[in-house]
A and B are shown apart, each in its own frame.
With several copies, the nearest count.
Chain A
Amino acid sequence: MSEKKTPQLDELEKGQWPSFVTEIRKAAAKNPAAEDLLGLLERSYEEKKGHWKHGGIVGVKGYGGGVIGRYTDLPEEYPNLAEFHTIRLNQPSGWFYTTKSLRTICDIWEKYGSGLTNLHGSTGDIILLGTTTENIQPAFDEFSDAGFDLGGSGSDLRTPSCCVGPARCEHACYDTLDACHNITNEFQDELHRPMWPYKFKIKFSGCANDCTASIARSDCSIIGTWRDTLRIDQDAVKAYVQEGLDIQGAVCDKCPTRALKFDYKKNELNVIAEECTRCMHCINVMPKAIRPGQEKGATILLGGKSTIVQSAFMAWVIVPFMKMEDDYEELKDLLRRIWEWWDENGKTRERIGETIYRLGMGKFLREVGLPPVPQMVFRPRANPYVFWQQDEINK
């Protein structure tokens, strides 16, 4: 079909890595919007600038989020991109699919959209790239019938995501897939109807390796851990020695707290339980010989986000250890209290981490009812600027 030349994009069909241009071209063969996209993108490559208008606010009935409105600033030239909205579908926990479910998505998207997707968006959603205002509602209706629902956008709970966890990983300290699914379903209202100062992201990682990068990428990061002692299988240790692993160098010397002692003579490895900070390093290197302890749960961290505006924040510990059980009631209750506090105290477009930074951890902890513990900080304050409460001073 396409007669238009795209010399720059053509360059990106060369090379060994699979090409997104080839993908757009495939879609363009069937869909005029995708075809226009090739032209528009080539134009951007020439001019070194984007051609999408600012903002856009479209959606489906009953929801306040889940769709990103998008219009080109060159509708005359690229009429099929006059409306080119994105639909965010909530992925299943752990990004597992049957081919059947994926094909269903493809079929619906072929009907209502450009045929282009992102698997996945950076928050975790299935991103369906490019449809018209008119098609949004019918597309949603069919996705809904097929068992899919929208993800988050706007100042709401964003689509939670989780690592592969117990489905395929020996390190998982709690059931990340179940927790993610459960929490997502519990907070459908918060996910679909924006009501807060800004967005709020939750990510679930089964251990401190943090394979969802939750500590940097989510307001609430839930990282699996254990309270007792990691378990060492001495036979497996000996097997590693025989394979030639330098246990002292590759494991003990790299343990951040030097909690591991290797006995050369006996080929035995022992841990000083109270020194271990459960960083996962030794377990990573020797998964056959070392495993997490048995009293498992998660550490809850709060406040992660990227650079805009007040600098990037890494999430920090607010609950050192929480059991992930009883339908996650403890976690749900905590989240509700946090949101209530944030909603009451946050400014527009202020992430929870920024609100706490502005108002202080002390106030946050007191008002949310969390007990202060040294695990919340790397180190105590370096200044003596303590706020005293009315009931603590002598009248």
Chain B
Amino acid sequence: MADLNVNGQVIALDEDGFLEDAGVWNEEVALALAATEDVSELTEDHWKVINYLRNYYEQFGVAPMIRKLCKETGYDLKKIYELFPSGPAKGACKIAGLLKPTGCV
């Protein structure tokens, strides 16, 4: 996938459009990533999900299970898909700058 241009800074993405280097993430990068996932603006609701994901990851080194994400943010899965049309893994995790979910497909 093409790299990301954030305010002139070129940020490397992998084929799936995830950050090559998670360290470069910031709120502006998030906004730019959002655009690649059909999310035109990041509302408070979006940030609640993003922040929860980032905090959880920081603490446990893994992304939370979906059930946990829904429980803790108070949004059901439907709402999550409304916020992030490509879903929690491809959508929300990507925008939150988390690692690409591996494993089960």
- Whether both chains belong to one complex is answered with yes
Residues of A at the B interface (CB closer than 8 Å) are 53-65, 68-69, 71, 82-83, 133, 153-155, 189, 193-199, 343-344, 348-349
A57/B81 contact (C-beta < 8 A), A155-B104, A195-B67 known: no
Asked if B87 and A193 sit within 8 Å, CB to CB, the answer is yes
B90 at the interface (CB under 8 A from A): yes
CB contacts under 8 Å to A, within B55-79, are 62, 65-67, 70, 77-78
Pair A58/B90 contact, Cβ less than 8 Å: yes
Q: Which of A64, A199, A343, A344 contacts B90 (CB 8 A)?
A: A64
Beyond A69-B16, A348-B65, whether A57 also contacts B89 by CB under 8 A is yes
Q: If A153-B105, A198-B104 touch, does A56 touch B16 (CB 8 Å cutoff)?
A: yes
The residues of B that contact A349 with a CB separation of less than 8 Å are 103-104
Return the contact of A57 from the options B62, B67, B100 (Cβ within 8 A).
B100
| A198: chain B residues within 8 A (beta carbon) | 104
What is the bound-complex CA distance between A343 and B105, given in angstroms?
A: 18
Tell me the bound Cα distance from A57 to B88 in angstroms.
Answer: 12
Tell me if A62 and B81 are in contact (CB < 8 A): yes
Cβ–Cβ contact A64 & B87, under 8 A: yes
11 pairs from A and B in contact (CB 8 Å cutoff)? A57-B101, A62-B85, A64-B88, A69-B105, A71-B15, A154-B105, A155-B104, A189-B77, A193-B81, A195-B77, A199-B104
B102 at the interface (CB under 8 A from A): yes
Asked if B1 CB lies within 8 Å of chain A CBs, one says yes
Which residue, A59, A63, A343, has most C-beta atoms of chain B within 10 A? A59
Q: Which 8 pairs from chain A and chain B are nearest by CB? A: A64-B87, A195-B66, A61-B85, A57-B16, A153-B105, A343-B67, A71-B15, A155-B104
List B contacts of A348 (CB < 8 A): 62, 65, 103
Q: Assess whether B40 is interfacial by the CB under 8 Å rule.
A: no
Chain A residues lying within 8 Å of B104, measured Cβ to Cβ, are 154-155, 194, 198-199, 349
Min distance, Cβ A79 to any Cβ of chain B, angstroms? 13
Q: Which chain B positions have C-beta within 8 A of A56?
A: 15-16, 105
**B residues less than 8 Å from A133 (CB atoms):** 1, 15
Which chain A residue shows the least CB distance to B18? A57
Determine the distance from Cα of A294 to Cα of B1 in the docked complex, in whole angstroms. 60
Instruction: Report B's interface with A, CB cutoff 8 A.
Output: 1, 15-16, 18, 38, 62, 65-67, 70, 77-78, 81, 85-90, 100-105
Q: Which residues of A contact B67 (CB under 8 A)?
A: 195-196, 343-344
Asked whether A58 lies within 8 Å of B16 as measured between CB atoms, the reply is yes
Interchain CB contact under 8 A, A197 and B65: yes
Chain B residues whose CB sits within 8 angstroms of the CB of A55 once the complex forms: 16, 100, 102, 105
Q: How far is the CB of B96 from chain A (nearest CB, A)?
A: 14
Q: Which residues of A contact B77 (CB under 8 A)?
A: 189, 193, 195
Known contacts A64-B81, A195-B77, A349-B103, then 15 further A-B pairs from the complex at CB < 8 Å, ordered by chain A residue: A54-B102, A55-B100, A57-B101, A58-B90, A59-B86, A59-B87, A59-B90, A61-B38, A61-B86, A64-B90, A154-B104, A193-B87, A194-B66, A194-B104, A348-B65
Q: When chains A and B are docked, how far (Å) is the Cα of A68 from the Cα of B104?
A: 10
Chain A residues, Cβ within 8 Å of B85: 61-62
Contacts of A189 in B (CB 8 A): 77-78
Among B66, B86, B87, residue most surrounded by chain A Cβ atoms (within 10 Å): B87
State A39–B105 Cα separation when bound (angstroms).
26
**Complex formed: what's the CA distance from A69 to B86 in Å?**
14
A194–B16 CB distance below 8 A: no
Contacts of A193 in B (CB 8 A): 77, 81, 87
Contact of A194 among B15, B70, B89 (CB under 8 A): B89
**A155: B residues at CB distance < 8 A:** 66, 104
Residues in B with CB closer than 8 Å to A62 are 81, 85-86
Taken together as a complex, chains A and B put the C-alpha atoms of A62 and B103 apart, in Å, by: 21
Residues of B with C-beta under 8 A to A59: 86-87, 90
Bound together, the chains give a CA A349 to CA B63 distance in angstroms of: 13
Interchain CB contact (< 8 A) of A68 among B38, B100, B105: B105
The CA of A133 and the CA of B15, in the complex, are separated in Å by 9
A63's partner among B16, B18, B62, B87 (CB-CB below 8 A) is: B87
Chain B hits for A82, CB < 8 A: 15
Q: Which residues of B contact A53 (CB under 8 A)?
A: 15
Q: How far is A199 from B103 in the complex, measured between Cα atoms in Å? A: 11
Nearest to B85 among chain A residues (CB) is: A61
User: Once bound together, how far apart are the Cα atoms of A378 and B15, in whole Å?
Assistant: 50
Closest approach, in angstroms, between the C-beta of B30 and any C-beta of chain A?
Answer: 18
